[in-house]
Amino acid sequence: MSTELRSFTSGIALTRFFGGKDRGTCIQVTHAKGDKFGHNIQLTREQAHELAHDLMDFANQVEQESE
């Protein structure tokens, strides 16, 4: 069973779902492509937390380039 979550970002859809015993509750982030939804990624809660930090670094202009 999945649940659509509210997103404040235009063109982004968020869906919460159960990823199985090993992954637990997950989120799927889907980016709209034109009038259709296209690309998506699926993250565990831990991965979403880590990505949120990376995105906040980018938003605050303190991102670091890979070596």
Find how far residue 12's CA is from the centre of its chain: 9
Q: Is residue 53 part of a domain?
A: yes
Number of structural domains in the chain: 1
pLDDT at 19 over 80: yes
Report the percentage of the chain scoring pLDDT > 90.
87
Q: Is residue 34 part of a domain?
A: yes
pLDDT at 35 over 80: no
Mean pLDDT of 43-66: 98
Taking the alpha carbons at both ends of the chain, their separation in whole angstroms is 41
Structure-token pair, residue 19: 């990823």
Structure-token pair, residue 34: 């034109």
> Residue 45, exposed/middle/buried by CB under 10 A (0-12, 13-18, 19+)?
middle
Q: Is residue 65 part of a domain?
A: no
Q: Is residue 66 part of a domain?
A: no
- Helix, strand, coil share (%) of the chain residues, nearest 5: 20, 45, 35
* Residue bearing tokens 């970002």: 9
pLDDT at 37 over 90: no
The residue among 56 and 34 whose pLDDT is bigger is 56
Q: Is residue 67 part of a domain?
A: no
